[in-house]
Amino acid sequence: MTEEDTPTMAPGLLQAYAPEEADEMPDPRRRRRQQDDPIANLRKWEPKTRLGAAVMAGKIITFEAALASGLPIREVEIVDALIPNLEDEVISVNMIQRMTDSGRRVRFNVMACVGNRDGYVGLGMAKAKEVATAIRKAITAAKLNLIPVQRGNGSWESASGPGNTVPFKINGRAASTRVTLMPAAQGKGLVIGETGKRVLELAGIEDVLSRTKGQTRTTINYAAATFNALKNINTTRVTNAQRDSLYIHTGRKNA
């Protein structure tokens, strides 16, 4: 790769400042979509943190470099600039009613999950008076809570080589819910409940075995316990020999 081909700007910023194609027929809903469009929001972004200024200046152009810098990620635009292809999904929407002196107060509690299906996933919750506002705030919280996911090939049933499963058995918990993720052979699929499957799919894990305990019908705790298990993989001590034998890789495969 020559110096001319080397990117000097984060991929999300490249998309934001790329010339737009003119539409033949204007869409009346385009203004509404642009309010939640992360690429459109990057055009008017003014960084307020050291990390944001480094991303805008082109000194940091990958999410891996942002994590290596040690600076906290406090602006959602940083995540949108470094990983522009994040997908989001609403896990749960609950209505909360509270009786006050002025009457009944209604709010909405939303849990959302984001991921690029290739080694990064985030989970967040938010409350608001309107569902749309709560969803938007939950997605923002999930992006700020983005973590790298370690994947490997820890199943004795699989042939040697890289895999898209968890590298070893790991436990996660949230309140009374317990989730245990175990390595699975390639092609086994996600043997887990629907809520946990949505989190693992956005994380880029394709094969896994699981065991659950507690009140798994609580959607919020089930998703949080699955996310906690993925987070615990990063805090588990692994030697270099074990990392090589289990083919452990962190984050994106093609970074």
CATH number, domain 150-250: 3.30.230.10
Q: Is-contact 221 176, C-beta < 8 A? A: yes
- Give me the CATH topology for the region 87-146: Double Stranded RNA Binding Domain (3.30.160)
Dihedral (CA of 235, 241, 245, 248) sign: positive
Closest alpha carbon to 166 in 230, 212, 121? 230
pLDDT tens, position by position, 241-252 = 999 988 998 888
Q: Across the chain, what does the average pLDDT equal?
A: 87
- CA dihedral 14→17→19→25, nearest 10 degrees, is 110
For residue 101, give both structure tokens.
């002196």
Distance, CA of 1 to CA of 248 (rounded, Å): 27
With cut-offs at 50, 70 and 90, classify the pLDDT of residue 5: low
For residues 156 and 205, the model is more confident at 205
The structure's pTM equals: 0.87
| pLDDT for the residue numbered 1 | 43
Please give the helix or strand (H or E) that residue 105 lies within, else none. Answer: strand 103-115
Contacts of 60 (CB under 8 A, 6+ apart): 10, 51, 54, 66, 69, 82
| pLDDT for the residue numbered 29 | 47
Residue 80 sits at φ, ψ, to 5 deg, of -65, -35
User: What are the sequence ranges of the domains in the chain?
Assistant: 11-82, 87-146, 150-250
Dihedral (CA of 80, 82, 88, 92) sign: negative
The answer on pLDDT for 198 being more than 80 is yes
Distance, CA of 79 to CA of 13 (rounded, Å): 11
| pLDDT for the residue numbered 23 | 45
With cut-offs at 50, 70 and 90, classify the pLDDT of residue 160: confident
The answer on pLDDT for 149 being more than 70 is yes
Per-residue pLDDT averaged across 88-100, rounded? 90
